[in-house]
Amino acid sequence: MIHAYCLREGALRRVEVPVGGDMPADATWIDLIDPAPAEDRFVEGILGIPIPTHEEMAEIEPSSRLRVENEAQYMTGSLVLGSEGERPSLSEVTFILFNGRLLTVRYGEFKAFSLVVAQLERGCPGGLRGDQIFMSLLDAIVDRSADTVERVASDIDLISRRIFERDNGRDSQRYRAILRQIGRKGDLASKARESLVSMARIVTFLVAESETRKPGKEQRATLKSLQRDISSLTNHVSYLSDKITFLLDATLGMVSIEQNNIIKIFAVLSVVFMPPTLIASIYGMNFQYMPELADHWGYPIALLAMLAAAIVPYLFFKWKRWL
């Protein structure tokens, strides 16, 4: 899918460009969403610059993600996709600045892009360039990362209260649920940190390039602000990761304490029944007068008693949620 955004009547207007169609000459931002190989080749032929494939975007070496080629700046970062769902993932996005235009290649719908598009469609300054749109995208991405980090911090606080609150109804299923929640939050925090690190590399690359390209004062101020925000968020995510590790150790410690309490009960019961077992083993229950031996139903009753002796403890353990 190819979207071209053009500055018309004081706002950005989106134009869908089919393969083989006409690319608007005034397109300031070209957005490729899940592009097919034919769409890549079509845009390459029009713009005259190579477009990285999905496999090339996934490469992690800095020389592949951050480079200048034919006067075009190629920057690839990892963004969190589906951070509010059950299975967040990282997806690569490539930003290409060339001749005052911005070209983005992405394989997912990101909230930051939707927010910037909605803002610029309401109105934007005249003479808007691709690098200004890029700064708006970076700012929105960092803001969304901050929202994700704040949500993780809030959820971790709730999990912490669940772990350490006084509750006599603890059971293994409760701890399993807590461990799953801790695992999800740890996974989301690690993905958020990886995304922030990739954004920090892009901003550092832009700062280094700005020494030769001499951007405007506003753009330099935006880059410095982004550097401060990303550094602060990265440090906060590192703190949250340490807290998640602490909560994981605390939960496992609570599970160990519960298991020790159960084993202690078994040990006490073993001690209680040891003397009767010792006496029965010495005498063998071989007494001259045992009324049950002459009873016609004595044997079936004994079998039922043995069965009850096995079932009743099992039901008791299930009721106590030890099993």
Asked whether residue 161 is assigned to any structural domain, the reply reads yes
Mean pLDDT by 10 residues, the chain (323 residues): 86 86 86 90 87 87 84 90 85 91 91 90 82 91 92 91 69 79 91 92 87 72 90 92 90 80 76 70 67 76 80 78 64
Which residue segment(s) compose the domain that 308 sits in? 287-323
Which residue among 206, 236, 257 closes a domain? 257
Same domain for 253 and 293, yes or no, is no
Asked whether residue 113 is assigned to any structural domain, the reply reads yes
pLDDT digits (tens, 9 = 90+) for 61-112: 877 888 888 888 999 999 998 888 888 899 999 999 988 899 999 998 889 9
Same domain for 251 and 161, yes or no, is yes
Q: d(Cα 94, Cα 54) in Å, to the nearest integer?
A: 10
Same domain for 245 and 299, yes or no, is no
For the chain, the domain total comes to 2
Give residue 28's identity as a one-letter amino acid code.
T
The CATH number assigned to the domain holding 71 equals: 3.30.460.20
Give residue 141's identity as a one-letter amino acid code.
I
Same domain for 235 and 167, yes or no, is yes
Asked whether residue 300 is assigned to any structural domain, the reply reads yes
90 in Cβ contact with 80 (< 8 Å): yes
Same domain for 215 and 292, yes or no, is no
Asked whether residue 275 is assigned to any structural domain, the reply reads no
Asked whether residue 199 is assigned to any structural domain, the reply reads yes
Same domain for 124 and 250, yes or no, is yes
Q: What is the pTM of this model?
A: 0.78
Asked whether residue 246 is assigned to any structural domain, the reply reads yes
Two tokens, residue 95 = 């930003």
Beta carbons within 10 angstroms of residue 261's beta carbon: 11
Same domain for 155 and 236, yes or no, is yes
pLDDT of residue 79: 92
Asked whether residue 271 is assigned to any structural domain, the reply reads no
Asked whether residue 264 is assigned to any structural domain, the reply reads no
